[in-house]
Chains A and B, each alone.
Chain A
Amino acid sequence: MKSLGNIRRSFAPWTDPDAKPFITFRNVTKRFGDFTAVDDLTLNIYHREFFALLGASGCGKSTLLRMLAGFERPTSGEIILDGQDIAGIPPYKRPVNMMFQSYALFPHMTVESNIGFGLRQDGMPKNEIAERVSQMLKLVKLEQFAKRKPHQLSGGQRQRVALARSLAKRPKVLLLDEPLGALDKKLREETQFELMDLQQELGLTFVVVTHDQEEAMTMADRIAVMSHGKVIQVATPAEIYEAPNSRFVADFIGDVNILDGKVSANGNGKIELAVNEGFTIRTATANGPTPGSAAGFAIRPEKMKVTRAAPADASVNAAPGEIWDIGYLGDMTVFYVKLDSGKVVKASMLNALREVEDPISYDEKVWVSFGETAGVVLKD
């Protein structure tokens, strides 16, 4: 069976037409004065899903999250949580908890009382609070820091306190606003997997905001790519990467080459595209623009091959060019190939071997080639 990318877990309620979404944003708009931060947005999030909101800074991700937490009211539209419209419910009565971008730890309280704060609000008996707090401390591996104040902790430790505090009440939904933003790269990668394990273990619904695409790809079951208050595409990381629905998404996620042209044929599950670079690309695409309409072709660098000889198989797409630049990155080598039309495309090849017999070098004449399923056709 073929599928896009590697599947992490067999969890896909969004493909089930009978599955009921856990959280629904329906035509939600949020305006600040005459600035529209969230624009007529509709979105479904499912129970136990790890959902990521991805987009450039200022595109309205935090605003969306804050509406779910209750700190902002939608200008119009409705938000439904577990079958209930939550418009009138104040933040302190919502079954969601948020991990703040700035952590927002209470500076005058110890780690312990920070984590227990929400439980004390609920009037939980003292011994149960103590038990839950020590459980949480263990979960985030901060047992020996229980009596410290936030300012006596490192950034990573504070982040884990914030996480423990937001998890302590066992919310139905945990909202995380750029949870790993302040951590360095290594700690961030470690924590990403910790968060995923936690989410699986506790069976919670996570909605995480991030502007880091790698982070979203690593952690999320599905990603909503946002731009200017709108959702452009909602899909699994593999779908977002391998089958972007628009130029914006293709360009936003990872590296991509986009070749512009006109559809010359469409039928039998194949589309032919005459690109401006002076050759025709055959793609295995069932639905697409009709012949004559303008379209783009998006292909990832690692899906293209660079060889000295033209590929023998005539069904493979190929174009001649010249090596313009080479970037050696260790794990792979990136070739910048100048096609005969003058356009430079990027092709990367894994360095599977340590030593290469007669490597391709600068200014050589080469062919870039790719198969029928290597790229996607983008409607204009």
Chain B
Amino acid sequence: MNKLGSAIFSRLVIILPYAWLLFFFLVPFFIVFRISLSTTAIAQPPYEPVFALADGLSGFFGKVGQFSFANYIWLTEDALYLNAYLSSIWIAGVSTFITLLIGYPIAYGMAQAPRTLRPTLLMLVILPFWTSFLIRVYAWIAILKPEGLLNQFLLSIGVIDQPLIIIGTNWAIYIGIVYSYLPFMILPLYSALEKMDNSLIEAAKDLGCPPISAFWKITFPLSLPGVVAGCMLVFIPAVGEFVIPDLLGGSQTLMIGKTLWNEFNANRDWPVSAAVATILLLILVVPIVFFQNAQAKAEEQGR
């Protein structure tokens, strides 16, 4: 009886995440994918074919026959989309790198801090999540705009004599992404650095390795799983980021999230925007697979 119960329980434990994936990832993905194969129509919903129960089997196959990859071909024909993808990946990549450069020393400092202080520091990292993301991005407008806080400050101390034009440029987007995603970088880095055995560093020093070199030879390689996790957690959402480029970026800012938004709302072209989303997903699945491989490797290393 008990055995049966635990068998059912262990099944359930396995089934739950799969069910979650099925309902909240796979099903929505197929809906999007199906729309991406449709054509626009002035109707409600604004695409066809639309399946109905009344169609019967032959009607169903007839409608499946209307599916086409025309939207994907369209994406390759207009350079706008390719440029948007490339520019998104570039912006996300640069932002991820800057986030890593800022996040690593912070995480390292936290991991080196006295044990009693660490929960407080962790709390401070998570603290920004307690206010709305949107409000925090709006706050950056107030800081970065020509008559904003930053410019007032720089003008008052005499570093510049003309206000810097930051808002509406890619600089503002970098600042926004780095700021918004920094906790996602710090947390996995901290968890990797925090469980590092200090005697490894001592062993390296004992064998003649000065501290800085010990960092690069021991600490950094052993924190790589954290680096990879942090970069993925920043890069993946940053590629599809829409709010930050929309609020902080300018008209010339090209990011795929914004393009998608335009196709969907302004052009009301659901099939093309669905195709944009599908390709975006494929672009992101590759790094996820890479990430999982890295994690499996780290586990195999017995850490």
B residues near A71, Cβ cutoff 8 Å: 202, 205
A100 to B221, CA, bound (A): 21
Q: How far is the CB of A71 from chain B (nearest CB, A)?
A: 6
A90 within 8 A of B: yes
Contact assessment for B301 and A151 in the assembled complex, using a CB-CB cutoff below 8 Å? yes
Beyond A100-B199, A107-B301, A107-B303, whether A69 also contacts B222 by CB under 8 A is no
Q: Nearest residue in A to B224 (C-beta to C-beta)?
A: A108
A263 to B197, CA, bound (A): 56
A residues near B208, Cβ cutoff 8 Å: 92-93, 118, 121-122, 169
B200 touches which one: A70, A90, A106 (CB < 8 A)?
Answer: A106
Render B183-205 as a binary contact track against A, CB cut-off 8 A, 1 for contact.
Answer: 00000000000000101101111
Contact assessment for A118 and B303 in the assembled complex, using a CB-CB cutoff below 8 Å? no
B77 within 8 A of A: no
B209 touches which one: A102, A121, A165 (CB < 8 A)?
Answer: A121
B residues near A97, Cβ cutoff 8 Å: 206-207
Render A137-151 as a binary contact track against B, CB cut-off 8 A, 1 for contact.
Answer: 000000000000111
A107 to B203, CA, bound (A): 12
Interface size counted on chain B using CB atoms at 8 A:
20
A105 to B202, CA, bound (A): 11
B210 within 8 A of A: yes
B residues near A107, Cβ cutoff 8 Å: 200, 222, 301-303
Q: How far is the CB of B205 from chain A (nearest CB, A)?
A: 5
Render A29-55 as a binary contact track against B, CB cut-off 8 A, 1 for contact.
Answer: 000000000000000000000000000
Contact assessment for B199 and A90 in the assembled complex, using a CB-CB cutoff below 8 Å? no
| Interface of B: prevailing SS | helix
Within 8 A of B (CB), among A258-307: none
A45 to B199, CA, bound (A): 26
In this complex, the interface size class of chain A, counting residues with CB under 8 Å from chain B, is 20 to 34
Q: How far is the CB of A368 from chain B (nearest CB, A)?
A: 50
Contact assessment for A102 and B199 in the assembled complex, using a CB-CB cutoff below 8 Å? yes
Q: Nearest residue in A to B203 (C-beta to C-beta)?
A: A104
A165 to B208, CA, bound (A): 12
Beyond A104-B197, A107-B222, whether A98 also contacts B206 by CB under 8 A is yes
A residues near B281, Cβ cutoff 8 Å: none
Q: How far is the CB of B154 from chain A (nearest CB, A)?
A: 42
B residues near A21, Cβ cutoff 8 Å: none
A residues near B213, Cβ cutoff 8 Å: 121
A165 to B301, CA, bound (A): 20
A169 to B202, CA, bound (A): 16
Render B286-303 as a binary contact track against A, CB cut-off 8 A, 1 for contact.
Answer: 000000000000000111
B residues near A151, Cβ cutoff 8 Å: 301-302
Q: How far is the CB of B195 from chain A (nearest CB, A)?
A: 12
Contact assessment for A104 and B210 in the assembled complex, using a CB-CB cutoff below 8 Å? no
A residues near B302, Cβ cutoff 8 Å: 107, 149-151
Q: Which residues of A contact B (CB under 8 A)?
A: 69-71, 90-93, 96-98, 100-102, 104-108, 117-118, 121-122, 149-151, 165-166, 169
19 contacts between A and B (CB under 8 A): A91-B205, A92-B207, A92-B208, A92-B211, A97-B207, A98-B202, A101-B199, A102-B197, A104-B197, A104-B200, A107-B200, A107-B222, A107-B301, A107-B302, A108-B222, A118-B208, A149-B301, A151-B301, A151-B302
> 8 closest A-B pairs (Cβ-Cβ)?
A151-B302, A118-B207, A121-B208, A104-B203, A104-B199, A91-B205, A92-B205, A98-B206
